[in-house]
Amino acid sequence: MTLVEGLLLGALQGLTEFLPVSSSGHLALAQQFMPGFEQPGLLFDVALHLGTLVAVIIYFCQDLKQLLTAPFRSDIKAVQERRYLRLLIVGSIPTAIIGLTLKGTVEELMHRPLVVGALLLVTGLFLFVAERFRSSDRKRLTLADSLITGLAQGVAVLPGISRSGATIAVLMLRGVEGQTAARFSFLLALPAVGGAALVSLKDIEHLPQGEIGIYLAGAGISCLVGLICIHALLGIIRKKRLYYFSLYCWLVGGAALFYFQ
C-alpha cells in the first residue's frame, strides 16, 4: 500500500463514517480498485476507524467529560448523565456479542463486492423508510431504544450496512428526535470501535514496518475529515434530508452490482 492510497482511504473513511452511507462498504469497494492492496486481517480499516473515533472524542469532548465524571458528582444533571451512561453500556452489549460472532464473516465479505453492493441497497431502503415514517420528536431515550440501537450497530459491522445510518434510522423510527438519535449513535460508536481495535491487536505483529507511517497518516486524515462530517450530518438531520443518502446508497450499490457481476 502506498502513502497516496492510505491517504485516499483515510479521507474516504472520514467522509463516510458519519454520513449514513457505510464507511466499511466504501472501503471494501475502493480497495478492489487498488492492485495488490493487503492488510493483516482488518488492521488498516480498524486504524482508520480509530481516526474517526478520535474525531468523536474531540467533537463531543464536553459531553464525554460530563458523562465520565457523572458517577462522582451529586448534582441534578449528574443523575441524568449517569442514566445516559448506563444506556450506552447496555447498548454496547449486543453490539459486542454480534460483532465478535460475525468477525470472520466480515473479513470474508470485505472481498465480495457484490454482497457489499446489495447491502448498500438495503442501507438506502432503511434510510428512505426512516425519513418517510419518522414520527414524534422524543428526546428521552429508553432502555428498549438502547438495546435495539445496539443490535442495529452490531448488524452494521457487515460492509455495506451503515453504522450511523442503521442506528440513527432505528431511533428515528422509534420516535426519537433526529439530533438526539445522532448524538447517541456517535457516542455508542466509541466502545464499539475501541473494542474492535483491541480485537485487532493480534494482527499488529504482521504489520510491515515500512507501512506504520501510512497507517498513522490514514488515521490522521480520517480524523480531520470526520470532524467536518459530524457537523455536516447534524445539520442534514435537522433539515430532514436523509432521502439524499438513500438515493446515493442505491446509486453506489447498483453500480457495484453492475460492475462486479
Which of helix, strand or coil describes residue 207? coil
Backbone angles phi, psi at 18, to 5 degrees: -100, -30
Residue 115: the pLDDT is 92
Place of cell 444506556: 87
Asked if 193 and 53 touch (Cβ cutoff 8 Å), the reply is yes
Grid cell digits, residue 13 = 473513511
Give CA–CA dist 247/224, Å, rounded: 26
Question: 138: which strand partners?
Answer: 176
pLDDT at 205: 67
CA triplet 256, 258, 261: central angle to 5 degrees? 95
Residue whose C-alpha is closest to residue 226's, from 199, 252, 190, 196: 190
The answer to whether 223 and 55 are in contact (CB under 8 A) is yes
Identify the pLDDT of residue 240: 65
Name the burial class of residue 240, with classes exposed (0-12), middle (13-18) and buried (19+) by CB atoms within 10 angstroms of its CB: exposed
pLDDT in tens, the chain (261 residues): 788 888 999 999 888 887 888 888 888 888 888 887 777 767 788 888 888 888 888 988 888 898 889 888 888 888 889 999 999 999 999 998 998 888 778 878 878 889 999 999 999 998 888 878 876 678 889 999 999 999 999 998 888 898 888 998 899 889 898 888 888 988 898 888 777 777 666 666 667 777 788 888 999 999 999 888 888 877 777 666 777 888 999 999 999 999 887
How many helices (H) and strands (E) the chain has is answered by: 11, 0
Is the model's pTM score more than 0.95? no
